[in-house]
Chain A
Amino acid sequence: MILLQVVVSGLLMGAVYALFSSGLTLIWGMMNVVNFAHGDFVMLAMYAAFFAYTLLHLGPAVFIPGAAVLLFVLGVVVYLGLVRHVARGPMLGQILGTFGLALVLRYAAFWAFSANFVSLPDTLVGGTFDLWGLRIEASRLLGGVLALIITIGMHLVLTRTMLGSRLLAVAEDRQAAMLMGIRPDRMQALAWGVGAASTGVAGALIALFFYISPTVGESLALVAFVVVCLGGFGSVPGALIAGLGIGVIQALSAYLIGAVYQDVVVFALFLVVLWVRPQGLMGTA
């Protein structure tokens, strides 16, 4: 029974992983650029939620979409101001560009918000309840379910709408898409906006039940890399399955081996998968 409890809480966390990893995989699939600042976007969204509550007394119904909008704007700005210019340059420039951004965001947060851990009150999304003998925190359930719905929604938009087709067309072949009258720049800016917005929602959701600190993004970014690599680069369904899987593996290894080693297991798994199948578990070569 305890094991089932662990698996369920792993799945709920995994759904949130899936959500922000989908954003990373979308950006990656669109333009083959890695956002090394992805985890720090999540961190910003967490602080946005925290300050929306403590300073402006706004509830989750407001600050979750609010964080999404805020991060969407940040994503577009980062694309237009930085990524657009480095994407076609040398590899070193691409890596340094978003990596430098990650450092700036992380240490600006240190400076502005201090290194102390903060968190939202537990009572914000009411307490804990029993469901078929499992004890479930309402905040984690809300986070998991909402993340799941949005991730699936993102997949549907990408595969079932005109906008999604345009995005995928640019990802597939930039030149051909241009010939079809699609503006790649606009689509890529949109992908960065949507990718960052996913971190906005995910960050606001995580903030409901997790501590907030300037460095929290570092380990979240690594989780997102692992999820994207496992799920295949550019695949939202892949990210969903891998995200849930990583959530469960993390929860199980924390329970069975010890909380210190939950990241060790995940990173080791990541390296093994990269070495054995560099294209990802579900990706194609």
Chain B
Amino acid sequence: MRQWPLVLLGFVAIAAWPLLTNDVFLQRLGALVLLAAISASAWNLLGGYAGQVSIGHSVYFGAGAYASLVCFTQFGWPPIAGAPVGMLVAMLIAAVVGTPTFRLRGHYFSMATIAAAELARILAANVPVLGAAVGLMGPPVPRSLADLSFISPIPYHYLFLAVLTLLLALTWQMQRSKMGFYLAAIRGGDRAARSLGVPVLRYKLYALLLSAAFTALAGSLYAVMIGFVDPDSGLGILISVKMVIVAALGGAGTLFGPLVGAIILIPLEETTNALFGGSGTGITFIIYGAIIVLIARFRPGGMADLWRAITAKGRRRAA
């Protein structure tokens, strides 16, 4: 990897971010960027590397968020202890729902994921243990350190940074391994990959299981930080859409694409929310929509593609 110095610089900058400012809004922004980067990087494993565009990843995010808060409300566990439960539940859902869905290609796959997610949202809104339409709350006051309930966003920043680093390291390993090449072949086309001897369904499933587990972890981290989940904030279609947009803007199927996408989009979202208040969400999604239309129309490869084009031009000029 030639870009090691750049990566190291980026890491140091992100790690130092909350210490450089006293503004809580900016500190919180850093944590939110990292959280969005985690869920988008998790989506990227399946949607980017394997090219299976899921618009239903809210199911796994919701599994994590709900598992954390159900474990708290039912058993009194600290919410973070529910994270492994959520990851297991998400992987179970992935195995059950994913296996038949993977026989579908392209658009059909995307539509099936939307339908499955909507199904989950409507069901969750009608199950009392899951708080029905009202939602679930985390511990109102921290009982111990294990509740990970802090007023300052800084501890969350480092927790999320650790998880993101782990996830990206795993992704990097995966990208260089046999699985990385298999997934690239699958992205190029099911039939072609199969004719090369790639076990297509099995590797799609591996990618989904990994992706679902980390998306669920992102959901749990969200629940730990925010301390609240309801059908819309845990399972709404916009949760899925956000993962797709963040990853696609930065560059789907690239290691740092989702992080770059999050660095661009989340500050934009938080600023419009802060400027326009409650109606801000609406404007945020108009902007989101416009951005993905523009990406689709002019640069389906996202920022990563733009970056490659620019550096290639620079190198040609230097030569």
Contacts and interface: CB of A to CB of B under 8 A. Distances in A.
Contacts of B118: 222, 263, 267
B194 interface: no
B208 to A, nearest CB: 15
B231 interface: no
A90 B53 CA distance: 11
B172 to A, nearest CB: 21
Interface string A253-285: 000000011011001101100110010000000
Interface residues on B, range: 35 or more
A273 to B, nearest CB: 10
A82 B126 contact: no
Given A100-B292, A103-B286, A271-B116, A278 B104 contact: yes
Interface stretch (B75-83, B158-166, B263-271, B294-302): B294-302
Interface string A88-123: 011111111101111111111011000000000000
A268 B117 CA distance: 11
Contact of B108 (A96, A105, A267, A278): A278
A85 B294 CA distance: 11
Nearest to A91: B106
Given A263-B118, A267-B118, A107 B101 contact: no
Interface in B101-159: 101, 103-104, 106-108, 110-112, 114-116, 118-119, 122-123, 125-126
Nearest to A226: B115
B133 to A, nearest CB: 10
Given A89-B300, A104-B293, A274 B252 contact: no
A116 to B, nearest CB: 13
Given A86-B296, A263-B122, A274 B108 contact: yes
Contact of A275 (B53, B55, B101, B248): B101
B214 interface: no
Given A86-B297, A97-B297, A225-B111, A274 B283 contact: no
B279 interface: yes
Nearest to B51: A91
B307 interface: no
Greatest chain A CB density within 10 A among B122, B289, B295 is at: B289
A82 B292 contact: no
A205 to B, nearest CB: 24
A95 B286 CA distance: 17
Contact of A34 (B47, B107, B297): B107
Contacts of B237: 218
Contact of A94 (B51, B244, B296): B296
Contacts of A226: 115
A227 B119 CA distance: 17
Interface in A61-94: 82, 85-86, 89-94
B110 A95 contact: yes
A229 interface: yes
Contacts of A268: 119
Contacts of B55: 95, 99
Nearest to B123: A264
Contacts, number: 133
A104 B115 contact: no
Nearest to B252: A92
Given A34-B107, A267-B119, A107 B283 contact: yes
A34 B110 CA distance: 10
A114 B100 CA distance: 40
Given A82-B293, A96-B244, A100-B292, A111 B119 contact: no
Contact of B111 (A32, A34, A82): A34
Nearest to A258: B126
B122 A260 contact: yes
Contact of A111 (B108, B241, B282): B282
B285 interface: yes
B289 A107 contact: yes
B291 interface: yes
B66 interface: no
A40 B4 CA distance: 45
B292 A275 contact: no
A222 B112 CA distance: 10
Contacts of B53: 91-92, 95
Contacts of B245: 96
A103 B285 contact: yes
B289 A111 contact: no
A107 B293 CA distance: 14
Greatest chain A CB density within 10 A among B100, B286, B291 is at: B286
A2 to B, nearest CB: 24
Contacts of A95: 53, 55, 107, 110
Contacts of B72: none
Contact of A96 (B122, B279, B292): B292
A85 B297 contact: yes
Contacts of A108: 286
Contacts of B290: 100, 104
B55 to A, nearest CB: 7
B293 A275 contact: no
A32 B294 CA distance: 21
Nearest to B99: A275
A93 B300 contact: yes
18 contacts: A32-B107, A33-B107, A82-B296, A90-B300, A91-B51, A96-B295, A97-B292, A97-B297, A100-B291, A100-B292, A103-B289, A103-B292, A104-B286, A268-B119, A270-B115, A271-B116, A274-B108, A274-B111
